[in-house]
Amino acid sequence: MRAASVSDFRELARRRLPNIFFEYIDGGSYAEVTLRRNVEDIEALALRQRVMRDMRELDMSVQTLGQTLKMPVGLAPVGMAGMYASRGECQAMRAASAAGVPMCLSTVSVCSIEEVAATGTAPWFQLYMLKDRGYMKSLLERAKAAGCPVLVFTVDLPLPGSRYRDVRSGFTGGTALQQALTQAKDGILHPAWTWDLFMRGQPHTLGSVQDAVKEGSRVTDFLAWIARNFDRSVTWADIDWVRQHWDGPIVVKGVLDVEDARAAVKAGAQGLVVSNHGGRQLDGVRSSISALGPIAEAVGGDLEVYMDGGVRSGLDVLKALALGAKACFVGRAWAWALGAGGQPAVARMLDIIRAELAVAMVLTGCNNARDAGRELIDRA
């Protein structure tokens, strides 16, 4: 099947990936109410079709935090992407760079900061507040040395949400032996993935935190270390600590409330991502798109406002721009594409979003992505 949409990449990834890894990226927390809301609330928004507007000139580019993006889209941080395709984060970075959009590298990536930066383009770097401040400081130093232009500080994960699919698939829970047997069976049933990952994709560690973990070498050992090191005591005052060790732009990721957005401004952030962690943390909260408008209205003049969660097409991107986002970050979309076919599939996914965004802009009379506003949403 040749993918024509983001949902097609999801199906292709489902066929190619072992069940444990497909369910890990595809699922949300608890009953997945927020996961569904993210998509459904964007779908419920209607664009306002306008015609006869002279759309010969079309400009999708946006400027943000000292960078020019060829379209208002970026790749959101996705953990363990290097388990979906050989050296997956590097493949995704190359696709993003060719498309002229940023990629944000997860703390829990298989490929290290340095390996991804060696592709020729340094990623934005995503960081959690960890109890081990010494290791956090070293990560910030490494990100700076690698040339990462932006730090994305994720604040909505003081502890991991409960993800039922991961338990059912055997990815979490059970004994180490049970997990190993499940993973071995999954690998045997997916030979193309096994060949790609185990012949060309090793080592399978979380590269950026590899030195911190002494008690094991499996991916699950690294994830367990991260989970133990999430810091529940973090407050807005801790942004000051981050600023002491990072002199570039800071983007706070995981904001859904207007008061928290105002707090991010007071803390000195240069941007924020309206996000509920893709429906993977606190289930039952509002969708990202429903929170976007009020937050953009409250603080959009003070910092850059981005959004992630539920974005599945270029049409969705334009809806988010209309409600005040400077750009959208897609997570599952690129993870599915990577799992479906590596770098070429990620590049194809970005091309699809670009083409869809062009149609949406032309048929709403929006010549310039920077001028998108609420007038593009049909209020009837």
DSSP 139-193: HHHHHHHTT---EEEE-S-SSPPP-HHHHHHTSSSS-HHHHHHHHHHHHHT-HHH
Average pLDDT, the chain: 92
| pTM score, whole prediction | 0.94
Q: What is the pLDDT of residues 75-134, one digit of tens each?
A: 999 999 999 999 999 999 999 999 999 999 999 899 999 999 999 999 999 998 888 888
Classify strands 62-64 and 67-69 as parallel, antiparallel or unpaired. Answer: antiparallel
Tell me what pLDDT residue 145 has: 97
Q: What is the pLDDT of residues 242-284, one digit of tens each?
A: 999 999 999 999 999 999 999 999 999 999 999 999 999 999 9
Tell me what pLDDT residue 134 has: 87
Calpha distance 105→257 (Å, rounded): 25
Which listed residue (190, 204, 245, 277) is catalytic?
277
Q: What is the pLDDT of residues 124-154, one digit of tens each?
A: 999 988 888 888 899 999 999 999 999 999 9
Residue 66 backbone class (left: φ over 0; alpha: ψ -120 to 50; beta: rest)? left
Ordered alpha helix ranges (H), the chain: 6-16, 19-26, 33-44, 88-99, 113-117, 133-145, 164-169, 176-188, 191-199, 219-229, 238-245, 258-266, 288-299, 314-322, 332-362
pLDDT top residue among 170 and 336:
336
Q: What is the pLDDT of residues 44-78, one digit of tens each?
A: 999 999 999 999 999 999 999 999 999 999 999 99
Q: Which amino acid is at 142?
A: R
Calpha distance 353→169 (Å, rounded): 31
Told to judge if 190 belongs to the known catalytic residues of this protein, a careful annotator would answer no
Tell me what pLDDT residue 345 has: 98
Calpha distance 134→130 (Å, rounded): 9
- For residues 318 and 58, is the Cβ–Cβ distance under 8 A? no
Calpha distance 256→264 (Å, rounded): 12
The average pLDDT across 18-36 equals 95
